[in-house]
Amino acid sequence: MLRVHPAWLLALALMGCKHVPTEKERRGAEIHFELGVQAQQSGNVKEAYMEFQKALELDPEYPEARNAIAILLHLSFNRPEEAITHYQKALEVRPSYSDAKTNLGNVYLSQERYSEAISLYEEALNDMLYPTPYIAQGNMGWALYKNGEVERGLQSIKAAVTTNPGFCLGYRNLGLIYDEQGAMEDSCRYFSRYREACPEEADAHLREGACLAKQGKLDAARESFTTCEAKAKTEALKDDCRRLRGAL
């Protein structure tokens, strides 16, 4: 009969065990996570990324850090496949993590994987404790529209702006959909709602101005483009506003 030395049994057992962070490691991970959040809020995405990485080195199953680093990978570094991996790991640890579901849905939406995105948004919306359902509702509406379900998409985005009347992206997308559908009056109405809800967004003034110009309301359009130029934070957007005003 083959006998296995106890030392080998111990070694095999250890190989099958995953590291459980100590209380000190967990606390260190939380500190690095908070530093990452602060860096991100300050606009320093590289520093934020490094801090989230340090948090995960100390606690690889820290779902908030997985979610945070995935957002950067997707939106700041254009590395969607890596972002997907982090979101999936976060959901393995916390299957009810609706923020991660919505954010993973956003990656799929950007990849035109509309059915997968819609499924995740629906899961998030079934969570009664999800604090920002209008995000999933609005993005699901856009995914439905891009998937060919125009009316369902419109109703979903309208539900989102009803839940949160300050949801800028919702008004913007409603204006875009109605514009693409040739419903100019509805398009202009929602671009105006976009500008009213988000007056500091130069893009809101740009889109309202372009819609007013299509309606022949040139003086109002000129005023919108002037405001757009004044509020634009990039030279490219300033140039667009100036060019459109000059074309009237």
When divided into structural domains, the chain yields a total of 1
pLDDT tens for each residue of the chain, 248 residues long: 445 455 555 444 444 556 677 888 889 999 999 999 999 999 999 999 999 999 999 999 999 999 999 999 999 999 999 999 999 999 999 999 999 999 999 999 999 999 999 999 999 999 999 999 999 999 999 999 999 999 999 999 999 999 999 999 999 999 999 999 999 999 999 999 999 999 999 999 999 999 999 999 999 999 999 999 999 999 999 999 999 999 99
Residue 168: how many other CB atoms lie within 10 Å: 19
Please, are residues 161 and 167 in contact by the beta-carbon 8 Å criterion?
yes
Q: Is residue 31 part of a domain?
A: no
Q: What is the pLDDT of residue 12?
A: 46
Q: Is residue 74 part of a domain?
A: no
Q: Is residue 244 part of a domain?
A: yes
Q: Is residue 154 part of a domain?
A: no
Q: Is residue 219 part of a domain?
A: yes
Q: Is residue 136 part of a domain?
A: no
Report the predicted TM-score, pTM, of the whole model to 2 decimal places: 0.86
Q: What is the pLDDT of residue 25?
A: 82
Q: Is residue 88 part of a domain?
A: no
Question: What contacts 228, CB < 8 A, 6 or more positions away?
Answer: 202, 203, 205, 206, 209, 237, 240, 241
CATH of the domain at 228: 1.25.40.10
Q: Which domain holds residue 222?
A: 165-248
Q: Is residue 192 part of a domain?
A: yes
Distances in Å between the alpha carbon of 75 and those of 26, 41, 49, 72, 106?
27, 14, 12, 5, 10
Q: What is the pLDDT of residue 17?
A: 53
Q: What is the pLDDT of residue 1?
A: 45
The DSSP element (H or E) to which 57 belongs, if any, is helix 45-58
